[in-house]
Chain A
């Protein structure tokens, strides 16, 4: 084997040269199997790329290790260039040697050298693929069937490309399916979303793989091999007509995750009457037959013999050319917030629970009734920034949607309970979207009382939720004996997002949100060519922004496919 070329970028960050390439080359002096190139301009420039081409051609090199500070930015460009030069991009690697924030000096240098040496060894081990070039697969996979994934899938499908839309829930729609109305127009969420879910379900180019999770991913852009675990639904979806009789007759009433614990669900369920696909699954953890060995009511009532208690998880493998990750968000658990009672104070609910309470398809059919006794609450306190913007204890970031949805909650509450009082504790009001500030102002005119300050404690006393807060504008302590409290808890990455990111070899930040290649210019690209991100999986955002990212990711994939 010939030598491996090593290209050191004299990258500068904030005006400082990160590593002196000459020093790095000096550190590799002992190795006879490498040929270094020092280029005195950043190699991501046009002249830099040209210099690498000349260096490789001049020395007959087919393998190169690039060391630079931002491999996620330069990597895809470099691989594209190699392909253009007729070289095999899988025989070269781009390494990140960005120093730690503390700039530890010589430790950093040693670490960088170590990364480079390991990279060289790895590149030497690689073998060129034999035989014919594998064809570029022009079909995409979208992971996550929320509004973002749906948007991206429809765009891709309309563009004529085949799409596999994978969701771990039995049906698509995601978080938006739980919402009642949306800001700033107060449109019914279901009325906006359902046409989209139906379109997705009926789209000739979109195949739904629901109740499924990604098991493993291998390959590269144009040819990813994805193994998917299809969870046992215990219902044969081929036979099931979606009549709903099994759900109606199922005798187990269990708290439903979809209803955020404030309404009952059944052991055999669909997420909504308009579910797409409209096929139920059995939750074996609460099903009487699975837990106690008897019942089988669903089996008895099913007209098409679709119930199959013996069903097992199945695995499917699919080849796709590009992947969009849109796995969405969860809310920070109120059970983990001590000052608000660790979730043990009745009538303290989170924002999504309020959505269910206000939703016509929710447990109270849209009437605002508090969970503990079903009374209509007359004093409702909304608390913003719960576990957000709290770097000492919880999440330091702003969850972005809460100012708006809390105003929406308070307004919807006032629209339904005319003699009720709505209080909002806030830190700042961030309403930068189109029509957002007007929406907040309208809420204030409708009589929402905004109190600037935090709530230090909540507790149950005498049938009320006592709220202790501060109004920092008057400098006074505020005590409210509320009937119900709604916590706008922080958005966090959805459960399992980090594990999925590891399978895809894409990065996550310290909170588990997927990291984009670059926050301004490459907002939907991951560090891996052919894998794109969109929506709240990348960071908290509202529906409008998430849809824009879904569109963006889909257009990136279409551009990628169009090149091949």
Chain B
């Protein structure tokens, strides 16, 4: 099994831990992630204005290149996934915009690349049963709250990822690696997104609401698929503590790091030192390192 891999900017910098662990897990599970050559920024946000097709040029170009190099494109970052998947769908369905975009990027792309998130590869291509069989380290029912955020799920009719109100793929994944998924009402809420730039206290409050809800429901850690969610939930905990003295803190772990841990990969390859709230004390306490 070979999939084209689009890392995206953040995975080369701030989210190196999401990226490294994802690549290592692919090797351990026996599928290849072939990095797309000469990739650029995904566009970072799907345009809200209907006529702003300029913003679709970067993802369209990425897709057209992917078509030259393979048939299935995968990402780890939820935001990249959202932009690329929606652009692909638009190119498939809107003939007029397709022609405009193709003329602009001077390529001919018809929307026939399959765009899958890494989680979907785990579910549909590898299979959670196979992952269960490949587990080398028993995570002993570590209580993990899966945080979906919004980018994987919405808009549901375009993303076709999972039920937008009651998704389950993340829980199924956690069960396959012997974690105990913690259901909590904030799992599909906004992490605060880019508010952390313009109105940081808004993002801090979003993160607090999410994390306190996860803690109240018994979570020992929270897992994410998205560098932006990770940033808001992980890096803002100092500010949260300053505003809310009832907040004890909780490690935020990328799902690829948890997967790598379960697959028995060497801990240094999982780059836990890059997480702001160091998960290692928790994992050590649980005897998982």
Contact = CB atoms under 8 A, between A and B. Distances in A.
Interface stretch (B118-126, B163-171, B252-260): B163-171
B185 A460 contact: yes
Contacts of A466: 185
A338 B185 contact: no
Contacts of A341: 165-166
A338 B213 contact: no
Contact of A461 (B163, B164, B166, B185): B185
A344 B185 CA distance: 12
A344 B166 CA distance: 10
A338 B166 contact: yes
Interface in A326-341: 338-339, 341
Contact of A342 (B166, B185, B213): B166
A342 B216 contact: no
Contacts of B164: 338
B165 A461 contact: no
A346 to B, nearest CB: 13
Contacts, number: 17
B165 A338 contact: yes
Contacts of B185: 459-461, 466
A523 to B, nearest CB: 37
Main SS of chain A's interface residues? Answer: mixed
Contact of B213 (A339, A344, A461): A461
Nearest to A460: B185
Task: Please indicate which of the listed interface residues B164, B166, B185 has the most CB atoms of chain A within 10 Å of its own CB.
Answer: B185
Nearest to B187: A459
A460 B213 CA distance: 11
A338 B167 CA distance: 10
Contacts of A462: 216
Interface in B85-99: none
Interface in B142-168: 163-166
Contacts of A460: 185
Q: On chain B, which size bracket covers the interface? A: under 10
Contacts of A342: 165-166
Interface residues of A, number: 10
B167 to A, nearest CB: 10
Main SS of chain B's interface residues? Answer: loop
B168 to A, nearest CB: 12
A342 B167 CA distance: 12
Interface string A335-357: 00011011010000000000000
Interface string B201-221: 000000000000100100000
Contacts of A344: 166
Interface string A458-475: 011110001000000000
A457 B183 CA distance: 16
A339 B163 CA distance: 11
A342 B163 CA distance: 11
A459 B164 CA distance: 14
Contacts of A339: 165
A413 to B, nearest CB: 25
A461 B209 CA distance: 12
Interface in B172-198: 185
Nearest to B188: A457
A339 B185 CA distance: 11
A342 B164 CA distance: 12
B81 to A, nearest CB: 22
A477 to B, nearest CB: 12
B73 to A, nearest CB: 29
Nearest to B216: A462
Contacts of B165: 338-339, 341-342
B193 to A, nearest CB: 17
A460 B183 CA distance: 11
Contacts of B163: 338
A458 to B, nearest CB: 9
A461 B213 CA distance: 8
A342 B216 CA distance: 23
A339 B188 CA distance: 11
Contacts of A461: 185, 213, 216
A459 B163 CA distance: 16
A339 B153 CA distance: 13
A341 B164 CA distance: 11
A466 B189 CA distance: 14
14 contacts: A338-B163, A338-B164, A338-B165, A338-B166, A339-B165, A341-B166, A342-B165, A342-B166, A344-B166, A459-B185, A461-B185, A461-B213, A461-B216, A466-B185
Given A338-B166, A461-B185, 10 more contacts: A338-B163, A338-B164, A338-B165, A339-B165, A341-B166, A342-B166, A344-B166, A459-B185, A462-B216, A466-B185
Give the 5 A-B CB pairs with smallest separation, nearest first: A338-B165, A459-B185, A461-B185, A339-B165, A342-B166
Interface of A: 338-339, 341-342, 344, 459-462, 466
